[in-house]
């Protein structure tokens, strides 16, 4: 971001001393007044959201890099030692098979985060394209498409996710797709209402009169302009997906051993919580912390990207 951007000048930062209209090129003006830099300015002031972002990044790094730095790996067992309480050698303790819990939490985090991100991407792609198409085409097509979404809202989707897992085996990829196929409905609604608001505007009229194809208008002109709310919904979809994955793991349908997700670890932990509480505490702490951060970050982004909150 350049210091000369109008956002910086109009915002709380001290204005640069030598400032004249000639200093600002057209590009800088456009860049400075964009939705994104305004939103970033607002987000930066939201202390809770920024702390959440930092913690979330730290948890991601912990899970991704951690296993390389640890002397243990998630599979190495020490059956003679069995379950031991947290100690200097094993900061999070070990499980009944003598596996180091810290590495298991890291590896579990990798899988939980991966499920969260990829399933959200799947839901994002379905929801954005579906919603944008419905909103852009309008009329009867729109009505039919949205009635279909309403119908799906009234289906108990957990049944179908379970059915899918039972029918097609329990692969990690299926979890991504099955959860993604369930979570796109809100995304489609939000994108549709955004597109309906946009399509009456001049730049879309201009694109239509230039003879661009429907798909080009939807993909190049409409979708980029509804990315704000989409990002907010996506941030809030990740925790929802992670909860759903944890629920599947609770049923024994989620990630299969020797792999483990946080959901699997929490489920194992709660079975022995009276005698081996650390097996529940550490995975549940990281799970809850991640969800906590993502929810606060989503809230912060919503406030930052919502034009109504610009008044505050």
Partner 1 sequence: MAKFVILRLIQGIFVLLAIYAVTFFLVAATPGSPFSSERAIRPEILAQIEAFYGYDKPVGERFLTSLNNVLRGEFGPSAVYANRTVTEIIAGSFPVSLKLGSISLLVALLLGVPAGILAAVKKNTWLDYLPMSTAMAGICLPTFVMGPLLALVFGLILQLLPVAGWFGPEFVILPAATLGLYYAAYFARLTRGGMLEMLNQDFVRTARAKGVPEATIVWKHCLKGGLIPAITFLGPALAGIISGSFVVETIFQVPGLGQWFVRGALNRDDFLILGLTILFAALIVIMNLIVDILQVMLNPRLKYE
Interacting residue with partner 1 among 144, 168, 197, 208 (CB under 8 A): 168
Interacting residue with partner 1 among 15, 54, 85, 155 (CB under 8 A): 155
| Minimum gap (Å) between residue 159 Cβ and partner 1 | 5
Interacting residue with partner 1 among 280, 297, 301, 305 (CB under 8 A): 280
**274 touching partner 1, by CB under 8 A:** yes
**Between residues 169 and 224, which has the closer beta carbon with respect to partner 1?**
169
**9 touching partner 1, by CB under 8 A:** no
| Minimum gap (Å) between residue 97 Cβ and partner 1 | 21
**275 touching partner 1, by CB under 8 A:** no
| Minimum gap (Å) between residue 266 Cβ and partner 1 | 6
**310 touching partner 1, by CB under 8 A:** no
Q: Among the candidate windows 2-10, 188-196, 216-224, 286-294, which touches partner 1 by CB under 8 A?
A: 286-294
| Minimum gap (Å) between residue 19 Cβ and partner 1 | 34
| Minimum gap (Å) between residue 289 Cβ and partner 1 | 8
Q: Among the candidate windows 13-21, 31-39, 216-224, 245-253, which touches partner 1 by CB under 8 A?
A: 245-253
Tokens of 49: 């959201």
Binding positions for partner 1, rule: CB under 8 A: 150-156, 158-160, 162-164, 166-168, 239, 243, 246-247, 250-251, 263, 266-267, 270, 273-274, 280, 284, 287-289, 291-292, 295-296
């Amino acid at each position: 971001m350049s210091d000369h951007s109008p956002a910086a000048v109009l915002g709380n930062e001290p204005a640069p001393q030598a400032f004249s209209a000639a200093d600002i090129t057209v590009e800088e003006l456009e860049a400075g007044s964009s939705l994104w830099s305004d939103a970033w300015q607002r987000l930066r002031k939201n202390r809770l959201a920024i702390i959440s972002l930092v913690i979330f990044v730290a948890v991601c790094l912990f899970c991704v890099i951690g296993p390389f730095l640890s002397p243990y790996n998630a599979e190495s067992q020490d059956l003679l030692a069995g379950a031991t309480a947290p100690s200097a050698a094993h900061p999070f303790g070990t499980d009944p098979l003598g596996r180091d819990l810290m590495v298991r939490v890291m590896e579990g985090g990798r899988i939980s985060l991966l499920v969260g991100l990829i399933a959200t991407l799947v839901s994002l792609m379905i929801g954005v394209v579906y919603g944008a198409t419905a909103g852009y085409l309008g009329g009867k097509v729109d009505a039919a498409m949205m009635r279909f979404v309403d119908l799906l809202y009234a289906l108990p989707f957990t049944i179908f996710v379970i059915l899918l897992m039972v029918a097609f085996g329990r692969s990690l990829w299926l979890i991504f797709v099955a959860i993604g196929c369930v979570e796109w409905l809100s995304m489609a609604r939000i994108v549709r209402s955004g597109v309906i608001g946009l399509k009456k505007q001049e730049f879309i009229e201009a694109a239509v009169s230039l003879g661009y194809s429907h798909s080009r208008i939807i993909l190049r002109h409409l979708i980029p302009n509804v990315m704000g709310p989409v990002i907010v919904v996506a941030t809030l979809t990740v925790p929802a997906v992670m909860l759903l994955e944890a629920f599947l793991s609770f049923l024994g349908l989620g990630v299969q051993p020797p792999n483990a997700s946080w959901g699997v670890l929490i489920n194992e932990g709660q079975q022995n919580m009276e005698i081996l509480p650390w097996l529940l505490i550490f995975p549940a702490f990281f799970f809850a912390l991640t969800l906590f951060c993502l929810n606060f970050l989503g809230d912060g982004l919503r406030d930052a990207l919502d034009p109504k909150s610009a008044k505050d």
